[in-house]
Structure 1
Amino acid sequence: MKKHYVLFVCTLTILYSCVPSKTIIRNENKKVPEQYNDKVIDTSLNVAVIKWTDFFKDSNLEALINTALTNNQELNIMLQHMNIAKNEIQAKKGEYLPTVNIYAGAEVEKVGEYTRNGAVEKNLNINEGEAFPEPLKNFTAGLSASWEIDVWKKLRNGKKAAVLEYLASVEGIQFMKTQLISEIASTYYELIALDNQLIIIEQNLDIQKNALRMVKLQKEAARTTQLAVRRFEAEVLKNQSNKYEVQQKITENENLINFLVGRYPQNVIRNSTNFITKVIDSIDTGVPSQLLANRPDIRRAELELSASKLNVKVAKANFYPTIGIKANIGLEAFNTKFLKNTPESLLYSLVGDVVSPLINRNAIKAEYKNANSRQLQAVFEYEKTILTAYMEVANQLSNKQNLQKSFNLKEKQVETLKEAITLSIQLFKSARAEYTEVLLTQREALDSKLEIIETKRDQLLTNVKLYQSLGGGWH
């Protein structure tokens, strides 16, 4: 018995020494700069903790987002992935618990006389009336159990990894919510901006048509040429064409919103008034380290990294022996009336075994190497996610500041060109300016009005993207 024990220990030692090992030379880096763009910021305030219902104060937009969070197909697909991950936890948990089955069976068998079993039955000294029934029936009923003893924690680590992957899928849902809310809000503001551009084009068309009538009168009075009339007509036609282009963009943005909220194309209710005067809210960014707690994609990457570390341990445990126990207890007889006769019909067994891969372990080695590579992938993905998050916030902060300066200048430009239109027409009537100056001034005025609408739109979109980049929108 002592020799068998020594042999068993030696065998385990040899198998353990054959297990490959690989050191991960790179660890995840959680360090981020202390401030955004080296600016001192109040760390106690962070817009990311504000609920999206409090951040977006437009009731029409809020209704669209609520509908999307219920009906969006892609979000619902992700919810099913989350449920699959949750079920995987239950499956992994069951792997390291004993498996108990109940069974019952019946069979009938007729062996040939010129076989070993047949010859034995014929040559037994059996008294008359006590011969084997032919054909021989057999009835069984009982319980069977098996259990893999999780000595190396392979099954428990697999279950922990499944839990982490489920939690990562939950964070993935939250991240998708932030993206969905951001996309709906951005498209909504884009739609409102297009409405205002359409209004500006229509107003400008009225101005240009009045200017065209004026030029025609000047032509009749021989104070200008047909060329001027044609140039003004061409300008009117150009802006009429632009009007239809904007209308097409409005249709496309409405359809995109309808798609995101999971419904067929229809009119999107919105309030497009007072767009230019809409106040741009200030954003409290906090400090970069808060991204680690507020951004769902960073938390998901961190959970996936932890799961990958456990999966390496699981893959390594495949090199170790598997220790299992099997037990069986039941009743067996060739006639059902004998099943109740115990202990004669009682059967039981208890088996313990140790199984370990010995030769041709290439598949296990390959899986172990893959698990290590996936862990490194997870490290790089985690680092990339943090870097991307910081870059997104820094870009939007810079964009927010520059857009505000640009908007202030464009406001002055619009006011200046409004006065220039009136002045150019007066000068043209008094023959102190060419018709080309009137055309150029009207064109510049239209462009400036469209540009300031685009700048206001970009300011609203930047606020939305900054809110999302800081980790807001999933509460």
Structure 2
Amino acid sequence: MKIKHSFNLFIFITAIFLGSCTIKNVPVAQKNSIQLPNKFEIGGDSVIIDSLRYERFFKDTVLINLINVAVQNNYDLKIAMQRVHIADAAILARSGRLVPEVFAGAQAGATRFGNYTIDGVGNYDTNFSENIDDNQKIPYPVTPDFNFGLSSTWEIDIWNKLRTQKKGAYFSYLATDQGRKLIITQLVSRVANLYFDLLERDNELKIVQNNIELQEKALELVEIQKLAGRVTELAVKQFNAQLLNSRSLEFAIHQEIVEIENALNLLLGRTPQNIERGVGILEQELPDINKTGIPSDLLLNRPDLKQLEYELEASQANIYAARAAFYPSLRLNAFLGMEAFKPHLVFNPESVAFNAMAGITAPIFNRRGLKANFKRVQAENYTLLYQYEQATLNAFSEVVTSLKGIDNSTRLYELKALQVEELRKAVSTSNDLFLGGYANYLEVVTAQKNVFEAELELMQSRKNQFKYLIELYRSLGGGWPE
């Protein structure tokens, strides 16, 4: 009866003590203070892309098939997926702490108490008592102990500390999943960039080979002119040197193609092999951009920003849990099973044993360590907040840069196309004038060199259009839904 009253008194005092405690001074979740404009604008016009999903953004079906292979086989993405599984397991582990832990076990041991100890004298003396039978006599001097049963321990989540830790694990999982999406977005961008690099080198090779044919014909022409005494050996040497330079460029481009193909195959998760191509870079269809307006809030769906946002939420949960560590914790422990000091008595109904205990523990001398941990998680929280704001500004800047780049590279391409057309006419004119004796060989060489360089610049301006479009795709987050 006394034990019952004592236990009730313990519960009553515990309830009053815990009820008087509240968790204070927990910072309110920090929010991004960056104010973004309502929409992006280029030269007074707002812009939007019809769809940011790569299956519809890119028009080249060969490129889309390559991206699909990369998403399926890329090793960085496979590693990221395993990180998601690890984060998912962390949620399960945190959930498990909210319910009692139950263990099944069996133990066997033996103890010899000293003859001049309470247990030693007590065990020796008990065996002479007339109140016990042979089964109750204690083995002496070594006392065995056999038991098996169920044991349980459970921390009562008074301050919602465990639930908050589970919430933090959930947000960490979401952040890890956004990290996986970020890798996919970056992977799509890298595959697309390498693919258009490959098309650029193919077109460059074609330009060089066409230029070699042109220079070979020019060399034949100048050699005939030399035999006729109209030019000197110097002209022949100039044309031949120019031809040799172009032939050397051809081999350099072949090597660059091999290197780009190998880099692309690595992203695709396969051994070096030939990469299939679609139409040439000058014939590639550009993604559609409509002058209809794009909300800057689309930026907030970027995987890297969403990842930081979820990490910030997880950090808030860590702050709460760190603060809750200053307060007492209530833990329940229990055991139910069979226990005896003789093996044949273990399964006797009278060997049933159980115990239950509730305990409160509160930190006293280790509060300095808890304060240090609390300051650490607070600093981590502000670090994540500043990183989030910085990443938001950087994302907005990237989008504006890409949009400006698309606009300027498009205008540049149009002018370069007109320049190439004029220079090609100039080459034809210089050849006619040279044959008629109205132009010297240096003018022919210069005309050929100018058209060669202009064709390369035209191709580069086309590549820049795709580069800025791919960068816009990446900077807007790759089209992931909210």
Same fold per superposition (TM over 0.5): yes
CA contact (8 A) 2:59 2:287 kept: no
Query: 1:156 and 2:163 equivalent?
Result: yes
Query: 1:347 and 2:353 equivalent?
Result: yes
Query: 1:59 and 2:61 equivalent?
Result: yes
Q: Which of 435, 442, 451 is matched with 2:448 structurally?
A: 442
Partner SS for 1:222: coil
Query: 1:202 and 2:209 equivalent?
Result: yes
Q: Which of 403, 407, 411 is matched with 2:409 structurally?
A: 403
Letter in 2 for 1:99: E
Q: Which of 430, 433, 453 is matched with 2:439 structurally?
A: 433
Matches within 5 A, 1:59-458: 59-113=61-115, 115-124=117-126, 125-126=128-129, 130=134, 131-134=137-140, 135-273=142-280, 275-284=281-290, 286-292=294-300, 294-342=301-349, 344-458=350-464
Letter in 2 for 1:53: E
Letter in 2 for 1:289: D
CA contact (8 A) 1:103 1:143 kept: yes
State the match for 1:37 in structure 2: 41
In structure 2, distance between residues paired with 1:327 and 1:123: 31
Report the alpha carbon displacement of residue 116 of structure 1 after superposing the two structures with TM. Answer: 4.5
Deviation string 1:274-318 (CA, Å, 9 cap, x unpaired) is x323332322461112222x3222222211111111111011111
Deviation string 1:61-92 (CA, Å, 9 cap, x unpaired) is 12211111111000101001111000000001
Partner SS for 1:267: coil
In structure 1, distance between residues paired with 2:322 and 2:295: 39
Deviation string 1:350-404 (CA, Å, 9 cap, x unpaired) is 2111111112422211111111111111111211222122111111111111111
In structure 1, distance between residues paired with 2:190 and 2:29: 39
CA contact (8 A) 2:26 2:319 kept: no
In structure 2, distance between residues paired with 1:151 and 1:408: 70
Report the alpha carbon displacement of residue 340 of structure 1 after superposing the two structures with TM. Answer: 3.8
In structure 1, distance between residues paired with 2:352 and 2:133: 24
Report the alpha carbon displacement of residue 221 of structure 1 after superposing the two structures with TM. Answer: 1.7
TM-score (norm 2): 0.89
CA contact (8 A) 2:200 2:459 kept: yes
CA contact (8 A) 2:286 2:466 kept: yes
CA contact (8 A) 1:283 1:463 kept: no
Partner SS for 1:447: helix
CA contact (8 A) 2:172 2:310 kept: yes
Report the alpha carbon displacement of residue 240 of structure 1 after superposing the two structures with TM. Answer: 1.1
CA contact (8 A) 1:139 1:334 kept: yes
In structure 2, distance between residues paired with 1:26 and 1:180: 31
Report the alpha carbon displacement of residue 32 of structure 1 after superposing the two structures with TM. Answer: 0.9
Partner SS for 1:329: strand
State the match for 2:3 in structure 1: none
Report the alpha carbon displacement of residue 272 of structure 1 after superposing the two structures with TM. Answer: 4.0
Report the alpha carbon displacement of residue 441 of structure 1 after superposing the two structures with TM. Answer: 0.9
Partner SS for 1:418: helix
In structure 1, distance between residues paired with 2:362 and 2:138: 43
Letter in 2 for 1:47: D
CA contact (8 A) 1:169 1:300 kept: yes
Gaps of 5+ in 2: 1-5
Report the alpha carbon displacement of residue 443 of structure 1 after superposing the two structures with TM. Answer: 0.6
Identity of aligned residues (%): 33
CA contact (8 A) 1:201 1:243 kept: yes
Partner SS for 1:136: strand
State the match for 2:466 in structure 1: 460
Deviation string 1:149-183 (CA, Å, 9 cap, x unpaired) is 11111110000011111111111111211111111
CA contact (8 A) 1:195 1:272 kept: no
Partner SS for 1:33: coil
In structure 1, distance between residues paired with 2:169 and 2:278: 47
Report the alpha carbon displacement of residue 212 of structure 1 after superposing the two structures with TM. Answer: 1.1
CA contact (8 A) 1:175 1:474 kept: no
Query: 1:47 and 2:54 equivalent?
Result: no
Report the alpha carbon displacement of residue 137 of structure 1 after superposing the two structures with TM. Answer: 2.3
